[in-house]
Amino acid sequence: ALAADVLLENLSAKATAALAVRALLAQHPAIDPGDITYVLNSGEEAVGDRYQRGGGNLAKAVAEVAGLANSTGADVKAFCCAPVHALVIAGALIAAGVHRRVLVIGGGCVAKLAMKSNGHLKASMPILEDVLAGFAVLVGPPGETGPELRLDVVGRHDVRCGSASLKIIESLVSEPLARVGRTITGVDRYAVELHNAEVTEPSGSGDVPRTNYRTLGSLAVRHGLIPPTSVEEFHRTFGLPGFSPTQGSVASAVPFMPHALRMMAEGTLTTAMFIAKGSLFLGKMTRMSDGISVLMEQR
């Protein structure tokens, strides 16, 4: 677990997450790094020691290199669902008064560079998956300028939900919205797995965001909110094009966060739901899928 290739993966995840944190602080000089007291890392690396792979804490390592002297933290592991899990945990820690500001981060995954390259080469295309991405989202106390994470509108893919696509989307979207008297068409935009289709289609994985939005549109048809002929229009109205590298958790909903914040500040967006789905069966410990969602609203 301390071989050179593993250390490279961990260092790359640490460096890209730290760069994202530094960029956030540089773009918002009014934020005092000393006010950030907790960091949640949601990347896919597995920092371990000479005996085991994944018991470490990259969150605190990133906090150290980014100069967050008053911070502690922990890692959240949930494959592609981890960033949204971490956002919900961050909001809950703040609402409970445990912390005032919580930083949610994630670094890029070296193991997934050129992950789809066989498909590109077979299609006589260049290898497109050649970038590492990182992100940092600062969650602060209620009442400050900016939108609110609606902790009363959190969708959960419970164990009982099974693996049918429509049932997963129902548990993540229509059920939490119904709790507060809203419907699927009552949200301005949905952010799903935003993989870049230019990367995934040549390898046979299809247009991942489009597939998700068509499933969501089909659910809206099932609830009588739109006619069956309007599924594609639903995608254009409520969805987004995929634009993120397929860096696992990095692509899962959170790439829309800075754009949503900008649009809400401009007054062109009021609500956005961030939906993450994960493949827990990849770890060979279960056959279940995973999923979580949360609504962000400008009030």
Sign of CA dihedral 88, 94, 98, 102: positive
- pLDDT per residue over 163-178, tens digit each? 888 889 999 999 999 9
Cβ pair 195, 209 in contact under 8 A: yes
Torsion of CA 151, 210, 117, 20, to 10 degrees: -30
What are the φ and ψ backbone dihedral angles of 40, each rounded to 5 degrees? -115, 115
Residue found by looking up tokens 């990367």 in the block: 199
Alpha helix positions (H), 148-230: 165-169, 175-179, 197-200, 208-222
Give Dmax (Cα) for the chain. 58
Average pLDDT, the chain: 93
pTM higher than 0.75 for the full model? yes
Alpha helix positions (H), the chain: 4-27, 58-65, 82-95, 117-122, 165-169, 175-179, 197-200, 208-222, 231-238, 257-266
- pLDDT per residue over 245-299, tens digit each? 877 778 899 999 999 999 999 999 999 999 999 888 888 999 888 999 999 999 8
- pLDDT per residue over 207-256, tens digit each? 999 999 999 999 999 999 999 999 999 999 999 999 998 777 788 999 99
Residue found by looking up tokens 């049932």 in the block: 167
Quote the tokens at residue 39: 């960091």
